[in-house]
């Protein structure tokens, strides 16, 4: 961990990735096969260039962004085989993005993922929406396909009118969530995995309009 974080204080490393940091301030960034583990993309980043960075319309392929902190716009993006393990997403928007084969093991995700699609992603032991933000975060009409949520915790989030297809929920917990209109195809959580909330079978399904 010290080595991962420490490289961002190394002048030589910063010089090597300078062109990449410039790309992160532009719309439609395309990155492939690069190690950016430990990066802080936030207005509070200690690296000035990253204070204005974002992932809006980004295309990431085989990128290592584990142990990072991401708080920015990442809407309408395409991410393939990106390692986000042990990464914290803090009020990050991922609306209408397509995320395929990515790793979110032990990550913390406070995200808005309206109309996003997650396919073949690993959310083992992830914490999704942990915090006191009410139901503002989560996603509407979000699709999860062949994703692994083993040991994951969903807390204080909404996934209204969302769909989980052939996902794994072993040991997962849903705590005080809003799941109106949700659909499960294939595997689904048991009644015991819902806490302090109405289970989906008790929630009448209805049309969910777009966020205003």
For 22-86, give the secondary structure using H, E and C. HHCCCCCCEEECCECCCCEECCCCCCHHHHHCCCCCCEEECCECCCCEECCECCCCEEECCECCC
* pTM summary value: 0.92
Q: Which pLDDT score, from 0 to 100, does residue 134 have? A: 55
Locus of tokens 């975060």: 137
Region 2-202: CATH code: 2.160.20.80
Q: Which pLDDT score, from 0 to 100, does residue 207 have? A: 40
Residue numbers of the chain with a pLDDT score lower than 50: 206-212
CA-based angle 147:150:154, to the nearest 5?
Answer: 85
Residue 83, beta-bridge partner list:
64, 103
CA-based angle 33:13:109, to the nearest 5?
Answer: 55
Q: Do 169 and 187 meet the contact criterion of CB atoms below 8 Å apart?
A: yes
């Amino acid at each position: 961990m010290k080595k991962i974080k420490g490289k961002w204080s190394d002048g030589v490393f910063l010089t090597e990735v300078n062109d990449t940091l410039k790309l992160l301030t532009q719309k439609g960034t395309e990155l492939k096969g690069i190690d950016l583990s430990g990066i802080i993309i936030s207005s509070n980043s200690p690296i000035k260039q990253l204070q204005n960075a974002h992932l809006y319309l980004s295309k990431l392929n085989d990128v290592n962004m584990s142990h990072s902190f991401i708080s920015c716009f990442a809407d309408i993006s395409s991410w393939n085989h990106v390692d986000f393990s042990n990464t914290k997403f803090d009020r990050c928007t991922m609306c209408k993005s397509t995320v395929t084969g990515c790793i979110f093991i032990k990550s913390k995700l406070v995200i808005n993922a309206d109309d996003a699609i997650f396919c073949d992603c690993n959310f083992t032991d992830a914490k999704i929406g942990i915090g006191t933000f009410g139901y503002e975060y989560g996603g509407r009409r979000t699709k999860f396909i062949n994703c692994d949520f083993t040991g994951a915790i969903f807390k204080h989030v909404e996934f209204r009118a969302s769909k989980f297809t052939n996902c794994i929920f072993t040991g997962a917990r849903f705590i005080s969530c809003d799941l109106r209109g949700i659909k499960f195809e294939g595997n689904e959580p048991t009644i015991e995995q819902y806490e302090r909330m109405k289970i989906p079978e008790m929630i009448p399904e209805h049309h969910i309009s777009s966020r205003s």
